[in-house]
Amino acid sequence: MPGPRLRVAELAAVEADLSISANDGKELIGLAIESFETATRSKKFEGFSKGLTYLVELQRRFEALAEEKTLLKLATCYFTMDNEDPEHYIQSQQDHKIDAWDADPDAKSFFLCRGAEITQFYGDTSDRDILTYLKKEQPNLEKVTDFLSKRTYKSI
């Protein structure tokens, strides 16, 4: 894959790979709570920064959930359309591609599955199960991402 396209593909793959399972989420929240509890019992407030680190990691992962947008972005890197130059990644061409996929549900489903396949996050999950999951969870994923992005605290 050419350099400019590969760079975008690598970033999209990292975003998709940062997804978080329910168990990982519970574990990070548990570690954060434990660290904050330790901090409240400590005269020097030790453990507070560690708890905050866990929450920042949790936020980062939620922001990069393998949602449709992330998977489609990844697919735009690996697949070309019409007379697209495969050597370069031009955003207007990618936007055109996504618009075309949005207009054709079968094409969108195909490229969502190929994006998921590239990340290997879903393992041996069938295309049907991936699409069912995305359809069911997409509104929630968008709400969580929106919620977290509006509540990012720069300082405490």
Instruction: Sketch the domain layout of the chain as residue ranges.
Output: 1-19+65-156, 20-63
Q: What is the pLDDT of residues 37-47, one digit of tens each?
A: 888 888 888 88
Predicted TM-score (pTM) of the model is 0.52
Q: Is pLDDT at 154 greater than 60 in this prediction? A: no
At 56, the pLDDT band (50, 70, 90 cuts) reads confident
Long-range contacts of 59-62 (CB under 8 A, 24+ apart): 59/148, 59/152, 60/18, 61/18, 61/19, 61/20, 61/24, 61/25, 61/28, 62/20, 62/144, 62/145, 62/148
